[in-house]
Structure 1
Amino acid sequence: MAVNRLFAFFLLMISCNLYFSQDVTIKDDKVLLDGKQILKAEKINIAQYSFFSMKDDEEILLYRYMDNETPRYVNDDYFILNFLTEKTKVESTDLGKISNFMNSKKGMEKLVKWLLKERVINHDGELNPDRVAVFKDKYNENITERTIR
């Protein structure tokens, strides 16, 4: 009986892992999910990326990395996710969610996987307004409002 429960738990864990192991790649300014294009991407510079809807080519997400005007001190760095169509901004210091050793393309692939996992973006590349609000509640740290200049 215990072996059956253990086996069922093992199968559940494997299926959850396979569900979240989607292949996200950015190639030629296309965001591909398991080979299907869901978004368009544009690298503005080393610290900024824009993502565009496939439906109407509207910019839906702007990613910016902020060094907080202290380029040699990284402990105060953060990133901003600006969900433009939802007029929602998320600022976070949790760089582990997207960092990938200075390879911005790999970091952006990691960002898209994170947004898919949180169901902020669906498998067609469309934003879910309700999930954007939940995402903001979970991860926004209001860094700009807390910073004295």
Structure 2
Amino acid sequence: MNKLSTLFLLIIGCNLYFSQEVTIKDDKVLLDGKQILKAEKINAAQYSFFSMKDDEEILLYRYMDNETPRYVNDDYFILNFLTEKIKIESTDLAKIANFMNSRKGMEKLVRWLLKERVINHDGELNADRIVVFKEKYDENITDRTLR
């Protein structure tokens, strides 16, 4: 019983340690109340994220319906890491989906990028981790789609 209690406390402790509250409010991306990025909602399908250091746009998120708005099975999203010149295209919408609330979806995106260590706790990009992230999640949709 003692080992089970210890394991339970360890799991709870790790969960609390790694859980981070990400919110987007008034064009500010907040991590546990501290601003790490600036955000701009361009429209329902596009968001831009800016560095706190020099106000440079570092990430552009775009949702693509593949010119078939009523057919969602071919939809995907693009993460364009502008300063690193790396583009990632993925159909795994569950990673960022939040029904009819793009702000909540972008908060989920930031949590995912933090978990993958693409963005650190100061909102800075990690170029090496972006390469790993691309290897894990990029589906190269544009290059393999005939138009």
Q: Same fold (TM over 0.5)?
A: yes
Mapped to 2, the partners of 1:142 and 1:124 lie a distance apart of 29
Mapped to 2, the partners of 1:90 and 1:100 lie a distance apart of 20
- Alignment partner, residue 121 of structure 1: 119
Greater shift, 89-98 or 15-24, is seen at 15-24
Which letter maps to 1:43? K
Greater shift, 30-39 or 8-17, is seen at 8-17
Cα-to-partner distance string for 1:15-67 (whole Å, 9 max, x where unaligned): 22112321111000000001100000000111000000000100000000000
How far 1:5 sits from its partner (Å)?
Answer: 2.5
Secondary structure at the aligned position of 1:40 is classed as: strand
User: What TM-score comes out, normalization by structure 1 length?
Assistant: 0.96
Of 8, 11, 18, 2:9 maps to: 11
Of 35, 41, 44, 1:43 maps to: 41
Mapped to 2, the partners of 1:15 and 1:127 lie a distance apart of 27
The percentage of aligned residue pairs carrying the same residue is 85
| Higher percent of residues as helix | 1
Mapped to 2, the partners of 1:39 and 1:144 lie a distance apart of 28
Secondary structure at the aligned position of 2:11 is classed as: helix
Which letter maps to 1:40? K
User: What TM-score comes out, normalization by structure 2 length?
Assistant: 0.97
**What count of residue pairs does the alignment treat as equivalent?**
147
- Alignment partner, residue 148 of structure 1: 146
Aligned-CA RMSD value = 0.9
- Alignment partner, residue 79 of structure 2: 81
